[in-house]
Amino acid sequence: MYIKVCGIKYPANMLAIAATRPDIMGFIFYPGSPRYMGHHLTPDDLRSISPNIMKAGVFVNESSEEILRIAEMYGLDAVQLHGTESPEECEAVSRAGFSVFKAFSIGKDFSFEYTKPYASSCRLFLFDTFGKGYGGTGTHFNWEKLQSYNGSTPFLLSGGLGADDVVKLKDIKHPALAGYDINSKFEIRPGEKDVAKVERFIELLRS
């Protein structure tokens, strides 16, 4: 199971989170987010992270050209697309050699049929809670809806996951569940994670 820690923007905190050994670390390149890392982390900062940790850049409705420019500059391994990007845009990033994670916001009217055109170009889907913005709602969606997903593309579960959810997360049985994405419920402030809380969560999930 992958454990992805997303929304990190301060250098010292980044290194401390890397030391907890998550599988994936997510960095937000969307300027509209309070976790935007562009003013804080340099390409050299990200390149200092262990190669055993996948580095994913989060983008929202950015051009493929700009995504690829930034991904190359920062040495990213994966690109997470969190807006209304088309299957063709996902394919363009995938063809350039980056793993693509496509995020979908799950609301009461969401149908997993929407994911099908993206399956061929995405390594992972990310199922998040529907909200007014792009991520960061701090709330769960109805996890029972996951049983309606019968696609073959693995997914990360996101949306307000907290330290007290470990038992419930372990109880979710789905053949395509590939891991968990954590963010706002582990923060001291936007972009700075509580290292002890993240470390404990990772230990409990892997135990």
Query: What Å distances lie between residue 128 and 39, 92, 125, CA to CA?
Result: 26, 23, 10
Amino acid occupying residue 43: P
pLDDT given for residue 107 in this prediction: 87
Query: What Å distances lie between residue 81 and 77, 124, 126, 142, CA to CA?
Result: 13, 11, 9, 22
* pLDDT single digits (tens) 140-177: 888 999 999 999 999 999 999 999 999 999 999 999 99
Number of H helices, E strands in the chain: 6, 10
As a whole-number percent, the residues of the chain with pLDDT over 70 amount to: 96
Structure confidence at residue 77 as a pLDDT band (50, 70, 90): very high
Q: What is the pTM of this model?
A: 0.94
pLDDT given for residue 139 in this prediction: 81
Instruction: Report CA torsion sign: 144, 150, 154, 155.
Output: negative
Listing DSSP states for 13-82 in one string gives HHHHHHTT--SEEEEE--TTSTTB-TTT--HHHHHTS-TTSEEEEEESS--HHHHHHHHHHHT-SEEEE-
Comparing C-alpha atoms, which of 10, 143, 6 is closest to residue 82? Answer: 6
Question: Residue 39's CB: how many other CB atoms inside 10 A?
Answer: 7
How many degrees, rounded to 5, is the angle at CA 82 between CA 6 and CA 78? 60
Q: What domains are there in the chain, each with its CATH number?
A: 2-206 (3.20.20.70)
pLDDT at 125 over 70: yes
Q: What is the mean pLDDT of the chain?
A: 94
Query: What Å distances lie between residue 14 and 45, 110, 162, 194, CA to CA?
Result: 9, 34, 19, 11
* pLDDT single digits (tens) 1-36: 999 999 999 999 999 999 999 999 999 999 999 999
pLDDT at 132 over 90: no
Region 191-206: mean pLDDT is 97
pLDDT given for residue 108 in this prediction: 85
